[in-house]
Structure 1
């Protein structure tokens, strides 16, 4: 049996949205229902504001697939067509270059009519659960560093392929959008049963006898591969679709400030992902207050960790006045508590001087304030920290 998919969706951290029984809503799928005379619904894998995802049996090819069914509301079909165009570009470049193996595969797409209207449907390869599912078992200490490095190499290889070969910005790199899989069939025992995975946002990956975090040997963990998934928010490098991109904790500074963006936003998110994988703690976890917004707090936390934002960047667009009263001064948050990555890793996480020096030398270039000076995926891949055992 193929590894089954706990599909990562943009709204995975929220409560499941129940199927809307009205025009423009979700299609009310019944288990056993057959889509497009080919895909038989077995189990719901996830549900969000825009789509539901079902584990299905491809009756023609006798294998499992994941079918993403978008709402029928006007506008969703156009968004789905954009996603299909991006995914077809990825598929075409994969065939041409024999690369891009770290990006999820689109297998098919079709339209179907239901009681709520027409729905666009996308068919993907069925993979394992998301990286978030695995990280839930290691929250106290972070994932083992050899696995962190291996996974980051695969994520960065996928981003390099998207950025350079496909001219695509992912715009939503986060643990929920990195899916696990394995070529070793013994890996199945380490992955959750699909019925346990279905419709849950608090999923813990389990192995025989208990939590995977207590059971999984590093050698088994190192047999797990990852793929970048969910291009539902992606765009072309030459044609951004929206100013509002990225999930908040992984949002790049230029996006917070309302500036133009490009492929460097994915590298910022990957830097945030790297820290979270290695420590079990989000690099930035902004929260709103009585007199300030979540965005205010986010910008403040970035300044506390990375230092003063150069005026050229802070005041390069009018939206900057939303945050700053004058160069270096925030409007609504005056008392900041500066800290360095070194101190955070040493004091809060107990890292040795050698380990934290190597890690911060990898991480800081991915978090450079100026997008044009931020490390590229290719440069990150060449860093000595990723290659070190």
Structure 2
């Protein structure tokens, strides 16, 4: 059994050893809740000493990641998005700084506070709970496409369109955040010792609310929240010799071909994989699609409609239409995949887009 329930604090990559009420950036920010963690960073809710009602999420990279291009890449991409005034359905970078800890130097990004990912709505206690209802997936995909439209118009490849990076909005005003934390206190953490006796302070993640959304919440409830495409550490600007570094099983076939041109259509491939995962509860590909033979790839694609029908979460017509849009996204030739803006006009997407009032839907 692992000593650490979340990020391995003894890892040589150097995770930030955070604690509640710890101050960083020369006392400017106070950590009051751990929001989550990943392979390259952990994320914390912090309050501003200059304005106690100003709450932000601070993404703190590992020492190793702070030294490589992934962290500075996200910092620079988010700055470019800010300069281009791309605000909606994406995180907004407020500031950045470097912080010293006992394990080294960490790059820190100050971001707007977001809620948990759509994956948080899944319920593993029942088979049907391992995937989302069709209306929830349509709403999420529609809003993510809006983000992709803005990114792609500015030659930005997101590079990691996955369910884990699709986040709900959260409270932004201080009184609401304080009220939520009062009712849902932050985990203060505990000290654990390794076999050699070295003590680590372990804090478990507690994402912020989803406004009491549940897996079976109606489309009108989901429509009241903004859905965001987060995590730009894998993002790239379209240019010659673009290389993507996301997990190989979500990368498009062209990513496996040396010297192949990679552009924004890579995101469309990942979007197709994400639709499938959200509706079935499993990954479409086990390994890099580009390593499959044409026959093996065609066999996977041919099974999509059968897999969707097996969930019993949609009618036969819905399964047919949904399989069709997934396959459109998964065309091997990038030139044959639709653009994000064109996908926004597809009936499958249009039929699931409820406006923020929660009552009206776009006419399909």
Q: TM-score range by the shorter chain?
A: 0.7 to 0.9
Residue 46 and residue 240 in structure 1: after superposition, are their counterparts in 2 closer, same or farther (change >3 A)? farther
Q: How does 1:252-267 map to 2 (within 5 A)?
A: 252-258=252-258, 259-267=260-268
Give the whole-Å Cα distance in 2 for the aligned partners of 1:360 and 1:256.
Answer: 24
Give the whole-Å Cα distance in 2 for the aligned partners of 1:356 and 1:205.
Answer: 31
Aligned length: 325
Give the whole-Å Cα distance in 2 for the aligned partners of 1:239 and 1:143.
Answer: 38
Deviation at 1:181, TM superposition (A): 1.4
Q: Which residue of 2 aligns with 1:323?
A: none
Q: Does 1:31 align with 2:20?
A: yes
Give the whole-Å Cα distance in 2 for the aligned partners of 1:89 and 1:204.
Answer: 27
Q: Which residue of 2 aligns with 1:89?
A: 80
Q: Which residue of 2 aligns with 1:238?
A: 239
Q: What is the SS of the residue equivalent to 1:212?
A: coil
Residue 295 and residue 352 in structure 1: after superposition, are their counterparts in 2 closer, same or farther (change >3 A)? same
Q: Does 1:47 align with 2:10?
A: no
Q: Does 1:103 align with 2:90?
A: yes
Match of 1:213 among 215, 229, 232: 215
Q: Is the 8 A contact 2:55 2:172 kept in 1?
A: no
Q: What is the SS of the residue equivalent to 2:246?
A: coil
Match of 1:171 among 140, 155, 159: 159
Deviation at 1:170, TM superposition (A): 1.1
Q: Is the 8 A contact 1:284 1:301 kept in 2?
A: no
Q: How does 1:1-389 map to 2 (within 5 A)?
A: 16-20=6-10, 25-36=14-25, 37-61=27-51, 62-73=53-64, 76=67, 78-94=69-85, 99-136=86-123, 140=128, 142-165=131-154, 167-181=155-169, 193=184, 195=186, 199=204, 212-213=214-215, 216-238=217-239, 242-243=243-244, 245-258=245-258, 259-277=260-278, 279-286=279-286, 302-306=297-301, 339-347=302-310, 349=312, 351-388=314-351
Q: Provide the alpha-carbon RMSD of the alignment.
A: 3.7
Residue 368 and residue 275 in structure 1: after superposition, are their counterparts in 2 closer, same or farther (change >3 A)? same
Residue 139 and residue 246 in structure 1: after superposition, are their counterparts in 2 closer, same or farther (change >3 A)? farther
Give the whole-Å Cα distance in 2 for the aligned partners of 1:301 and 1:122.
Answer: 42
Give the whole-Å Cα distance in 1 for the aligned partners of 2:303 and 2:88.
Answer: 36
Give the whole-Å Cα distance in 1 for the aligned partners of 2:172 and 2:99.
Answer: 36
Q: Is the 8 A contact 2:63 2:106 kept in 1?
A: yes
Deviation at 1:43, TM superposition (A): 2.2
Give the whole-Å Cα distance in 1 for the aligned partners of 2:337 and 2:185.
Answer: 39
Deviation at 1:153, TM superposition (A): 1.3
Q: Could you state the TM-score of these two structures normalised by the residue count of structure 2?
A: 0.75
Q: Is the 8 A contact 1:55 1:65 kept in 2?
A: yes
Q: Could you state the TM-score of these two structures normalised by the residue count of structure 1?
A: 0.71
Deviation at 1:239, TM superposition (A): 5.5
